[in-house]
Amino acid sequence: MNKKFILYLVVITILAGCRNNIAEISGTLMKPAAGRYIYLEELRPDELKRVDSSLVSADGNFTFKREVKAISFYLLKINESNFLTMLLEPGDKLKMNTYFDSLSYPVSITGSKATESMVDYNFTLRRSIKKFSNLNTIYMENMNNPELPAVIESLDSMAQIYLSEINSYTKTYIDNNLTSLVSLVALYQQIAPNVYVMNPAQDMKYFIRVDSSLSANYPKNELVISLHEQIQEMASNIEIKSDETAASNQGNEAPEISLPTPEGDIINLSSTRGSYVLLDFWASWCLPCRKESPNLMKAYNLYHKKGFQIYQVSLDKTREAWIKGIKDDQLDKWIHVSDVKYWNSVVVPLYKIESIPANYLLDKEGRIIASNLRGEQLEIKLSEIFNK
């Protein structure tokens, strides 16, 4: 083959690859803004970096083209209070129509599914913000009212109702977008200055759940890595309490699980009666789970012959990934089951699983006697049982 022809093929391939990485952002500002600039900024863990600007044309049009090698957050910005957060992927062709003074709430937007999802969320959040603003107006109007304390009490009650509504909506939004980076944005929304929709002290399980999912899906993303570090620090300073945790159910019989093994055989949790059983929830994509594998192996080798068994349930997405995780960590000595439905697994609501790794230690009758034992804690508990 002609060398020049080969060279042309290489050049064409490279250029095609570059084009596939180009994200295009274009739109029309419906309020006259000719001669004004609109800016494109990239959101990074430690800064907002301005990467481009566009002069708005006489008819209100603007265009950006940006090489996007991996899914990333960008801001389309007029000023510090007028911007649209976008989540762009390679090849996105985002088109929007909006008013110059309200970028966050475009009249129409297409070409970027993640950004469209965030815009829908913003409109719901906007309604709640308006409700909060109305409460503040009522307060200002009653400053000289002798019944002001009663008015304040009523306003506080309404504020809690509004916050609860948007909090519930945000939790549903996160659940529906758990594998998308848009869930990261939802965690940190504010309904008023310094009034966050999600409260880490009360909603830490959602922060942990988002962290677990995004760390699995975007392990090299700088924002996800930064989120992980923040959440690890927050979690260490917050005592997570819930009436639905395993600890509150100690002494109760563990709900039945009937799921297939990698070979397709159904093994019931109740079939392990007569042994002390560690019911362990994990996934091959969960790095903290994988780090626990050596501890599980050590415990199994020490106490299996004395009557200890492990019943491990995977929240993997695919059978192939699940089996590979078992093989790579050499975990084939004990029982493995899964419906490979990720967070839609039947065990998630059954055991109210908010994050993994998670486990329950069951006695010989299948009753819960401890929960979330890891590393040395598991070894100590098993030693108490088997080395009496």
What's the token pair of residue 372? 């979330």
Grade residue 305 by pLDDT with cuts at 50, 70 and 90. Answer: very high
Whether 279 is covered by a domain: the verdict is yes
Q: What is the pLDDT at residue 140?
A: 86
Chain centroid to CA 330: 29
Look at residue 232 and tell me if it is in a domain. Answer: yes
3 inside domain: no
Q: What is the pLDDT of residue 237?
A: 64
Q: Which of 165-179, 270-284, 366-380 has the highest mean pLDDT?
A: 270-284
Please tell me whether residues 263 and 232 are part of one structural domain: no
The four Cα atoms 240, 242, 248, 253 give a dihedral, to 10 degrees, of -110
Q: Say if 84 falls within a structural domain.
A: yes
Tell me what pLDDT residue 236 has: 63
Instruction: With a cut of 50, say whether residue 248 has pLDDT above it.
Output: no
The stretch 328-348 carries a mean pLDDT of 90
Of 218, 237, 256, the last residue of a domain is 237
pLDDT per position as a tens digit, 141-163: 888 888 888 888 888 888 888 88
The number of folded domains in the chain is 3
CA separation for the pair 156, 95 (Å, rounded): 41
Six-digit token pair at 190?
């504010």
Residues 183 and 296 grouped into a single domain? no
CA dihedral 207→210→215→218, nearest 10 degrees, is: -130
Look up the domain containing 88 and give its range: 16-111
Residue-level length of the chain: 388
pTM, rounded to two decimals: 0.60
Q: 363 vs 288, which has greater pLDDT?
A: 363
At residue 64 the predicted structure's pLDDT band, cuts being 50, 70 and 90, is very high
CATH number of the domain bearing residue 257: 3.40.30.10
| Backbone torsions φ then ψ of 272, nearest 5 degrees | -90, 0
Q: Look at residue 322 and tell me whether its pLDDT is greater than 70.
A: yes
Mean pLDDT of 295-317: 94
Question: What average pLDDT does range 81-97 have in this prediction?
Answer: 92
Position 238 confidence tier, pLDDT thresholds 50, 70, 90: low
Q: How many other β-carbons are positioned within 10 Å of the β-carbon of residue 58?
A: 9
**299 within domain boundaries:** yes
Q: Could you tell me if 107 and 57 lie in one domain? A: yes
Among 168, 202, 237, the domain-final residue is: 237
In this predicted structure, what is the pLDDT of residue 269? 93
Dist CA 198 CA 192 (whole Å): 12
- Report which secondary-structure segment, H or E, holds 327: helix 319-328
Same-domain check for residues 350 and 258? yes
Query: Mean pLDDT across the chain, nearest whole number?
Result: 85
Q: Are residues 150 and 107 in the same domain?
A: no
